[in-house]
Amino acid sequence: MVKRKKQKSNMEELKKEVVMDDHKLTLEELSAKYSVDLTKGHSHQMAKEILTRDGPNTLTPPPTTPEWVKFCKQLFGGFSLLLWTGAILCFVAYSIQIYFNEEPAKDNLYLSIVLSVVVIITGCFSYYQEAKSSKIMESFKNMVPQQALVIRGGEKMQINVQEVVLGDLVEIKGGDRVPADLRLISAQGCKVDNSSLTGESEPQSRSPDFTHENPLETRNICFFSTNCVEGTARGIVIATGDSTVMGRIASLTSGLAVGQTPIAAEIQHFIHLITVVAVFLGVTFFVLSLLLGYGWLEAIIFLIGIIVANVPEGLLATVTVSLTLTAKRMARKNCLVKNLEAVETLGSTSTICSDKTGTLTQNCMTVTHMWFDMTVYEADTTEEQTGKTFAKSSDTWFILAQIAGLCNRADFKANQEILPIAKRATTGDASESALLKFIEQSYSSVAEMREKNPKVAEIPFNSTNKYQMSIHLREDSSQTHILTMKGAPERILEFCSTFLLNGQEHPMNDEMKEAFQKAYLELGGLGERVLGFCFLNLPSSFSKGFPFNTDEINFPMDNLCFVGLISMIDPPRTAVPDAVSKCRSAGIKVIMVTGDHPITAKAIAKSVGIISEGTETAEEVAARLKIPISKVDASAAKAIVVHGTELKDLQSKQLDQILQNHTEIVFARTSPQQKLIIVEGCQRLGAIVAVTGDGVNDSPALKKADIGIAMGISGSDVSKQAADMILLDDNFASIVTGVEEGRLIFDNLKKSIMYTLTSNIPEITPFLMFIILGIPLPLGTITILCIDLGTDMVPAISLAYESAESDIMKRLPRNPKTDNLVNHRLIGMAYGQIGMIQALAGFFTYFVILAENGFRPVDLLGIRLHWEDKYLNDLEDSYGQQWTYEQRKVVEFTCQTAFFVTIVVVQWADLIISKTRRNSAFQQGMRNKVLIFGILVETLLAAFLSYTPGMDVALRMYPLKITWWLCAIPYSILIFIYDEIRKLLIRQHPGGWVERETYY
């Protein structure tokens, strides 16, 4: 108890934001705190001591459930429990019989064995299925050991990352993975990619300066397992292993309790319903049989028998196989489902919380717009480069491309010529890479260009300059130089006195400045990163060989000529807008939750349709109407962009209100903990939440979500581990497929269950009649099992292949509270109506066979005791003939075989009516080949069981006369016509009584 409490408080702790003060300390304080020399590092001795004290620098792997526990979960979870209960009850009944009767019927024993076998086999099957997908998971794991460069005792040494200890002096350089949480003490042009931790799409520069209160934002901290993109840095390890920020998130993730999947909840609800019906029936007939004069013992055996007869033995297997089939179908469409039950969850999903970077976007900066010749041009941003082109003939474009290509430090990595340009890996900053790719793609080879215009000097970018400059020899006249410059647009404009228009230089004027300002605002408003470009042809006095000095500038760097602007963004994936709109029309709310900046987030949200056209945020309404934000009518603003800092101060109630009152929501600058809180908020409002994400920062939310969806290619290991489903192609559009498949399988499971449950009534009523009317048992345990585990199986599974009746993507997600998998209407239809007709058919066949053999129905009433008397070998029938015990048993078993065959025949009709819930079978057609196969298999199996020689000994099933097969046909037709009329009424009177009472 105490332990649990402690665990809980630990979880609460983890949910809080990171608290850290190392970034605020001065270097001296830091040195003192970790008692380490800032130049020499720890001594080897010291490092060893700390290592033994703190343990290795690794994340504790999430506690893996042992295989046997997983197996037991499959064996004893959900539906299996019902079957186990049945098996135990049967065994109890058998024990009672054995205790009071020397030679009891073995039926109950067989039944309990068969039930156990069914559960075990199905359990093994689903265990095998899940083991298969978890094997695919394991292949994702990256096993390469990482190295770290530490300084210990004054010497640099390479050690395994696991051996890095608190206070170690570590050096990182471009391309390295940060080995622990570091407080930087020095840095040269260091940039780190924090995207997996914060979701920011661009690399962040790092320096020893304390710049922000928030440790996640300050510039002097590097985080464990993020990547250093370029530059070098040296820092002190301030946390290792699980105490790192990344480690905290990982342990938060693995500590989260996972809720029940919706389908598991539905199955539980179903079990409740079935149990109520079974117990009700059992108790009723228990009382009845006592009233009829049976003994206590017999009545108890009856009670157990009736309860067990209500257990649909085959349903567990049917559900498992149906889910597996769907999982396979989804895997073919690149959705890998880790947990079988999660197959359906996506179909029930009512809210999708999507990460931005890497999920909605390509996670790759791409040039989107240019502004030159006073015009905004759009660049091609599609992943396949199939978009439109722009005015490439302008001379300005020629110069712009030259500058972008030359004043650029990015380069392609070697040996990638075969890859399409967009897919090639580059070195250098994301925006420079974007420019490089863009120029390579739409202008000419950058390498060639650089070769023709060799660089002679450059000033790299820094945050005080906000520009980058380089000087090249000119291609056309090799004696002169050209100065190219790019940077923050307003800084660039300050350098310029002229501007280029259609290749001609014009002096700068107000008109131009205004146009510049407008274009800048427009592009900036799109959330794009804007760069300005300018150049200067240096006078001939600076001829070849001139010693350019970039520290003490000895060349002109003013009165440059402004060329244009280029803007870039991490563009959305091509298929995303379509997928989002499909989710919308399917009634699913799509919320963006990102660690990125609000403007970028909002821009992407708008471009993918998460904030749809014409929807405004309160700020926009206020700006349009020119009123203060506080006066904006709440109903006018359906969209909202919430900043992480606000979220921090919100009460959960206020969060609920935000979620409730807005249809289009973007959360920006959110921390992993906040993502979790948002998911919890949605769940509190009753939504079934899907979370998509790729980074470590998404993993707590992925775990907490009803279904977590990770990205297969770009996703981090932690996120894949936390997720229930993995999009192997990283394509958000696959989610739509998932939703569709999930909804379809939900509908089809309903149909399957309807089909399977219906035959329960013709299986139970014989036993009830046996008790009440005292007639020979019309249907035995073996034949019941033949139906449930034999003939009904393939048809029930075939319903999983049924196509949708209407466009399932056009309707709202189901309400998990009211729209249940199995409701009282389904039970009513299956048990009260179709099942009753089936039972009648069975009894009719039964009476036909007995009457034709000499036992008229009237004479059968109350015959039970004599019929079952083994010593009575001259029982008289209606014609005065005398039967031995065995002779009449043969007739009884023939009747049971016929009853069984009759159920098969009426199940044909049941299968066809179960194909649809609203449409006529004629509208739906018989395109489901598997279903036709199912009918065939069912029939052949029945014939096989009846006619194969030796079956009389093995299963006590006897060959039937052909006419006995026909007895059920009228009832089949009756079922079909009855249900067609019912569906016609449902279609013609939507919302009418028939629909309210019978539409399941």
Partner 1 sequence: MRRQLRSRRAPSFPYSYRYRLDDPDEVNQNYLADEEEEAEEEARVTVVPKSEEEEEEEEKEEEEEEEKEEEEGQGQPTGNAWWQKLQIMNEYLWDPERRMFLARTGQSWSLILLIYFFFYASLAAVITLCMYTLFLTISPYIPTFTERVKPPGVMIRPFAHSLNFNFNVSEPDTWQHYVISLNGFLQGYNDSLQEEMNVDCPPGQYFIQDGNEDEDKKACQFKRSFLKNCSGLEDPTFGYSTGQPCILLKMNRVVGFRPDLGDPVKVSCKVQRGDENDIRSISYYPESASFDLRYYPYYGKLTHVNYTSPLVAMHFTDVVKNQAVPVQCQLKGKGIINDVINDRFVGRVIFTLNIET
Q: Within 7-46, which residues bind partner 1 (CB under 8 A)?
A: none
Please state, in angstroms and rounded to a whole number, the distance separating the CA atoms of residues 608 and 929: 39
Return the SS3 of 275: helix
Provide the token pair at 694. 């790729």
**Among positions 640, 682, 696, 808, the unique one binding partner 1 when judged by CB under 8 A:** 640
Choose between 395 and 656: whose C-beta lies nearer to partner 1: 656
Please state, in angstroms and rounded to a whole number, the distance separating the CA atoms of residues 774 and 292: 10
Phi-psi region of 721 (alpha: psi -120 to 50; beta: other; left: phi over 0): alpha
Choose between 68 and 871: whose C-beta lies nearer to partner 1: 871
**Shortest CB 27 distance to partner 1, Å:** 21
**Shortest CB 374 distance to partner 1, Å:** 19
164-223 residues near partner 1, rule: CB under 8 A: 200, 202-205, 211-212, 217, 219
Give the CB-side neighbour count of residue 319, counting CA atoms within 13 A. Answer: 28
Choose between 144 and 865: whose C-beta lies nearer to partner 1: 865
Choose between 600 and 734: whose C-beta lies nearer to partner 1: 600
Q: Which stretch binds partner 1 (CB under 8 A): 231-239, 641-649, 689-697, 717-725?
A: 641-649
807-846 residues near partner 1, rule: CB under 8 A: 832-833, 836-837, 840, 843-844
**Shortest CB 241 distance to partner 1, Å:** 28
Q: Which of 193, 355, 694, 877 is catalytic?
A: 355
By CB under 8 A, how many residues form the interface with partner 1? 90
663-682 residues near partner 1, rule: CB under 8 A: 669
Residue 642 engages partner 1 in binding (rule: CB under 8 A): yes
591-610 residues near partner 1, rule: CB under 8 A: 597-600
Provide the token pair at 440. 């390579």
Residue 260 engages partner 1 in binding (rule: CB under 8 A): no
**Shortest CB 995 distance to partner 1, Å:** 14
Please state, in angstroms and rounded to a whole number, the distance separating the CA atoms of residues 84 and 378: 65
Choose between 353 and 601: whose C-beta lies nearer to partner 1: 601
**Shortest CB 524 distance to partner 1, Å:** 3
Provide the token pair at 861. 């009433």
**Shortest CB 127 distance to partner 1, Å:** 33
Q: Which stretch binds partner 1 (CB under 8 A): 46-54, 286-294, 636-644, 897-905?
A: 636-644
Q: Which stretch binds partner 1 (CB under 8 A): 116-124, 614-622, 806-814, 939-947?
A: 614-622
CB 663 within 8 A of CB 6: no
Looking at residue 838, its amino acid is: Q
218-257 residues near partner 1, rule: CB under 8 A: 219
- Alpha carbon of residue 178 to chain centroid: 30
- DSSP secondary structure of 200-230: -SS-EEE-SS---SSTTT-TTEE-TT-EEEE
286-315 residues near partner 1, rule: CB under 8 A: none
Looking at residue 169, its amino acid is: L
Q: Which stretch binds partner 1 (CB under 8 A): 311-319, 418-426, 637-645, 812-820?
A: 637-645
Q: What is the DSSP letter of 812?
A: P
Choose between 875 and 932: whose C-beta lies nearer to partner 1: 875
633 is catalytic: no
**Among positions 142, 386, 415, 630, the unique one binding partner 1 when judged by CB under 8 A:** 630
Choose between 922 and 993: whose C-beta lies nearer to partner 1: 993
Residue whose entry in the numeric block shows the structure tokens 């009759």: 902
| CB atoms inside a 10 Å sphere around CB 516 | 23
Q: Which of 398, 407, 351, 397 is nearest to 370 (CA)?
A: 397
> Strand locations in 736-892, DSSP E?
875-876, 882-883
**Shortest CB 948 distance to partner 1, Å:** 18
Pairing of strands 504-507, 335-337: unpaired
407-466 residues near partner 1, rule: CB under 8 A: 429, 431, 461, 463, 466
Choose between 452 and 597: whose C-beta lies nearer to partner 1: 597
360-399 residues near partner 1, rule: CB under 8 A: none
CB 608 within 8 A of CB 580: yes
Provide the token pair at 165. 């200890």
**Among positions 418, 871, 922, 991, the unique one binding partner 1 when judged by CB under 8 A:** 871
528-587 residues near partner 1, rule: CB under 8 A: 529-531
Reported as type and span, the H/E element at residue 189 is strand 181-193
**Among positions 503, 869, 936, 988, the unique one binding partner 1 when judged by CB under 8 A:** 869
**Among positions 87, 150, 512, 618, the unique one binding partner 1 when judged by CB under 8 A:** 618
Provide the token pair at 145. 């050991």
Choose between 131 and 634: whose C-beta lies nearer to partner 1: 634
Choose between 54 and 656: whose C-beta lies nearer to partner 1: 656
Choose between 529 and 743: whose C-beta lies nearer to partner 1: 529
Q: Which stretch binds partner 1 (CB under 8 A): 94-102, 343-351, 629-637, 803-811?
A: 629-637
CB 460 within 8 A of CB 442: no
958-997 residues near partner 1, rule: CB under 8 A: 970, 974, 993, 997
**Among positions 259, 420, 525, 556, the unique one binding partner 1 when judged by CB under 8 A:** 525
Choose between 480 and 663: whose C-beta lies nearer to partner 1: 663
Residue whose entry in the numeric block shows the structure tokens 């002109």: 556
Residue 788 engages partner 1 in binding (rule: CB under 8 A): no
Phi-psi region of 83 (alpha: psi -120 to 50; beta: other; left: phi over 0): alpha
CB 497 within 8 A of CB 451: no
Q: What share of the chain is helix, strand, coil (3-state, %, to 5)?
A: 50, 15, 35
Please state, in angstroms and rounded to a whole number, the distance separating the CA atoms of residues 778 and 842: 8
**Shortest CB 650 distance to partner 1, Å:** 8
**Shortest CB 827 distance to partner 1, Å:** 13
Please state, in angstroms and rounded to a whole number, the distance separating the CA atoms of residues 451 and 332: 47
Residues in a beta bridge with 160? 147
Q: What is the DSSP letter of 989?
A: S
**Shortest CB 527 distance to partner 1, Å:** 8
**Shortest CB 972 distance to partner 1, Å:** 13
**Shortest CB 746 distance to partner 1, Å:** 24
- DSSP secondary structure of 18-41: P---GGGS-HHHHHHHTT-BTTTB
**Residues ≥6 apart with Cβ < 8 Å to 8:** none
**Shortest CB 597 distance to partner 1, Å:** 7
876-905 residues near partner 1, rule: CB under 8 A: 876-887, 890-891, 894
Choose between 395 and 646: whose C-beta lies nearer to partner 1: 646
Please state, in angstroms and rounded to a whole number, the distance separating the CA atoms of residues 663 and 676: 20
- Alpha carbon of residue 328 to chain centroid: 15
Please state, in angstroms and rounded to a whole number, the distance separating the CA atoms of residues 174 and 881: 101
x-marked contacts with partner 1 along 847-866 as a string, rule CB under 8 A: xx--xxxx-xx---------
Please state, in angstroms and rounded to a whole number, the distance separating the CA atoms of residues 916 and 936: 20
Reported as type and span, the H/E element at residue 893 is helix 885-914
Q: Which stretch binds partner 1 (CB under 8 A): 147-155, 354-362, 586-594, 649-657?
A: 649-657
Q: Which of 254, 215, 197 is nearest to 594 (CA)?
A: 197
**Among positions 258, 634, 973, 984, the unique one binding partner 1 when judged by CB under 8 A:** 634
482-521 residues near partner 1, rule: CB under 8 A: 487-490, 520-521
Angle of CA points 13, 18, 21, to nearest 5°: 125
Catalytic residue positions?
355
